[in-house]
Structure 1
Amino acid sequence: MKFSHKIQLFLFLLTNTFLFGQTPGFNYQALILNNEEIQIPGTNVLENKVPLGLEEITLRFTITNETAVEYIEEHTISTDENGMVSLIVGEGTPISNTFYDINWDGKLKHLNVELNILNDNDGFVFLDSQKILYIPQPGSGNGNGNGNGNIKIVNSLGDLSPPYQLGDIIWLTEYGINNNPSLMIWDNTSWLPVNADFDPTNEFGLIVVANENIRATQFESPDIGDQVWNQTCNCIEIYNGTHWVSFKNMKAQNGLYISDNKVKLGGILIEPTLITTSATNTFAFAGLQESTNTEDQIVVMDKSTGVLRQKASSTLHQKKQVIIIASDGQLEFTTPLNITNSDKIDVFRNGVRINFVAINNTTIKLEQEAKCYQDDKVRIVQLY
């Protein structure tokens, strides 16, 4: 039962809120899963989707525009027991430039993520590249968002004069039925609000649902990889293309235990446990120590239930004996039990062990030289 430190699926949980204060940056969360085949007795792990918990990793974030790299930083962090990491991009160790050097001008940017699992010594592995959704930094210009960081502030769309370019951005002081201020972007056809959330399923953040019914409402046609936090099961659920798979805190019981976030064989059996074998699928123990203690117990199996029990070694062989006063010339004697194995019978004539042969299942015959005299004492000891 070995957990590999690899990544099968990386789920971005990235907010689109930027913090332009003392510590500029944006929140980043991810769930890191294991991809190696895992065999756990008595457990069926669907598609090996087990969180990679309590592992020290380094995440490298690279922010790029359409033509160049603008910023690189690294974070060394440990996943929690559920495989989660949470940090702020902008507070890591700068590798190239600084976070302040990024020009938030409204143009397309990407966040590229690489991962290094320190225990694997495999170096950085590229994980994914995602578009960054952000609000451009406001300026003092009068344009319609011309790429130099300036955003025009208008009270109504009627205050604008075409032509507009795809991606132009304005700040509209009153928008919608509640006349709320909103950032607007030109999509080459109309002005659309940037900060209105019309589809909560397209967020980078983890969606929280109260139960399965609410989840079905939020995700009418879920895509593979969609994830939610279900408050009913208190767990993360991920859609695998067929159904929602839950990730709960892993527990081990009934002969299994968890140590260092690994499931191991051992522990207390809390319910009856049955192992069924066949001619090809057998059950064996290798490497058992040899017993030299004559008082050691013997393991036996109940012939009806198959339950293993312990039995004193001294009870495995029981004996029965009979003493017969012989007549003159007597050679044949009746044994105390039916004969199943001659090796389990010893015969003594006046205390001396003598040879014999079994002539049927209840009678033995002494060798000719051991023919008895009157009142000889013949003792027959039979094991069973």
Structure 2
Amino acid sequence: MSYTYAQTPGFNYQALILNNEPIQIPGTDVKENQVPLGLTEVTFRFAIENEFRTEYIEEQTVTTDENGMVSLIVGEGRPINTSFSDIIWDGKLKYLNVEINIHSSNNGFEFLDRQRILYIPHPASVGGGSGGVTVVNTLTDLTDTYTQGDLAWVQNDATNNVPVLYIYNGIEWIAVTNDLDPTNEFGLIAVADAAERDSLFSAAIVGDQVWNEACECIEVYNGAVWISVAPENTTVSNGLTLDGNNIKLGGDLIEPTFINTDLVNTLAITGLEDSTSLNDELLVLEENTGVLKKKSMSSLYERTEIVLNATEGQLLFPTPWTISNINKLDVYRNGVRISFRLINATTIEIELDARCYQGDQIRIVQLN
């Protein structure tokens, strides 16, 4: 559906009516059985609402064309309450609520659409008072002898440095639009903070955008929340880099940085390559602080050995260190590895078949 504004009281409304239940509005995915509802009599009920109440309701009956299209002027229908001319177009946001009654379905009125509108009526005559458009050079040329809804075209607006259309709200003249940038057609409304943004966009729709002065960023509504878009002067640091509009992991840390984990929110790095070098170093955590440090593989163990000259028939020998794990001990007799058993934490006994002769060399190698 679409709206167009003309020089007459009211605005054009167009819609495509589809033959399915429930009624589908344009812009949604059209299924195979959703064909246009052609040459059918329908009645529209239009309600113009502000933030607090309904200002105007009308009904119009029309027959769709062979393609299911309708085109009519909101403001030219049968008024249900008040009249279109009673609407106060003060430049503030209003809403068009649309219901439809397809006579052949016998379902009565059903909700069709709700859209935001900002409509400025164009009076038939140009001149001051009684709803006319007054053309003045500066804002100071305007007086308070006007009625609510009167328009004025200020050619040299000192506040914004561009020609601006003003409307009289019954107390003062206010600019009709917040977008006063003459260099763009779709300028952004500026808000002081999130509270003002939420107030202006109480019924935000997907794609709405504002310039939030508090964060100095553009915010876009995604249908659920407002998402900030980083401006050009955004900087990142402490392990992050900025690549266009993308913030990436990677960069120098400029301050102590902590990542807190728990039993549920763990930290994992997957896809690491296998190490094939004996010179690679290990990643370790400092005992009390958890600070990451590196440690060489060779520093994880100490190797020591003693060489003893055996006496005739000797079987018992002392070890270099207290034995914590017998699997970390090797014993050699004249260069040949032999079996042994543990006598106590500092003594071993070699196998009987390896009983020593006078002067045999016993070498004990121990890792700790």
Q: TM-score, normalised by structure 2?
A: 0.50
Q: Which has the higher contact order (CA 8 A, sep 6+)?
A: 1
Q: TM-score, normalised by structure 1?
A: 0.48
